[in-house]
Amino acid sequence: MRIRLGTRGSALALWQARKAEALIKAAFPGAETGIVVIRTRGDAVTGKPLHELGGTGVFVKELEKALLEGEIDAAVHSLKDMPLRTPPGLRLAACLEREWPGDAFVSDRYKDLASVPSGGRIGAGSLRRESQLRALRPDLSAAPLRGNVESRTAKLRTERLDGIVIAAAGLSRLGMAASIAERLPPELFTPAPGQGIIAVETRGDAGEAAALLARLDDAASRESYRLEAAFLSETGGGCSLPVGALCLPRPGGFTLHGYIGDREGRRVHRGSALLASGDAEGAAALAGKLLDAGGRTVLDELRGTK
């Protein structure tokens, strides 16, 4: 069997594709694999914030098109980049074992976010990070941050930033964990749903290849994401809105942390819930609680519907 894995061309995306490839070869020594690099709109347009490009899907759509047209047999994504619903004809075959899912503070000057003096400039690449940064440190300014992991960290110097906030998983995967000054507590800096999970997507009719890839699935990663996605779905959010959700395994179930905030970090709604496996209703209920507490008004204003 030959499995062509489609991926973006960044160093991190290629690392993730090679990780998936290595797991396939380890589990199925007879399988032939190949990696196909596909350029996405999110890679091509780097001068605009992600929320101005339409948010969720800008790193995924071209890969899914290649998958549907048979140019590749599977697509490897960062799960946080994927829309909540896969297009007709496609399915999420595997969620690989999750890396530590939180965000990290990286700085050449300061040991942690609390040490940055008032007036400091921190790079933040999403409205979610921007909102939480301002909620924690309203005396700091948030600077836009786009690009791959290497270019984001380089902007510490080229744009004279006091620090940046970036997913810890990407740094660890590229051997850059030593650059992490502080791992931000997820209950105070809640990441995007699916952050830290590598996803493998296939066609629904992929047959033996899909069955093979499904055997790489990590049950805890998939269940954590299922609950995070239930929270996100209830809010109607995406990466174009300041919404975060993280589900962490615990003995007997999961702890779900949720976040809704405005861009300025002034109206912030946080909460957590202890959930059993499969309790999507409990995850949605936590989102409903935060929406009823004022989060719905915040999100409606951001969408321009109120």
Residues that are catalytic: 81
Rounded-to-integer distance, Cα 306 and Cα 196, Å? 34
DSSP reduced 3-state for 279: coil
Rounded-to-integer distance, Cα 283 and Cα 77, Å? 24
Residue 275 CA to its chain's centroid (Å): 21
Query: Phi and psi for 39 in degrees, rounded to 5?
Result: -85, 130
Token pair for 239: 């990466």
Q: How many CB atoms lie within 10 A of CB 85?
A: 9
Rounded-to-integer distance, Cα 280 and Cα 229, Å? 9
Unique residue bearing structure tokens 């909620």: 135
H-helix or E-strand containing 209? helix 208-214
Q: How many CB atoms lie within 10 A of CB 170?
A: 25
Alpha-carbon torsion 47, 11, 84, 292, what sign?
negative
Rounded-to-integer distance, Cα 20 and Cα 26, Å? 10
H-helix or E-strand containing 68? helix 61-68
Q: What amino acid occupies position 19?
A: K
Rounded-to-integer distance, Cα 180 and Cα 201, Å? 30
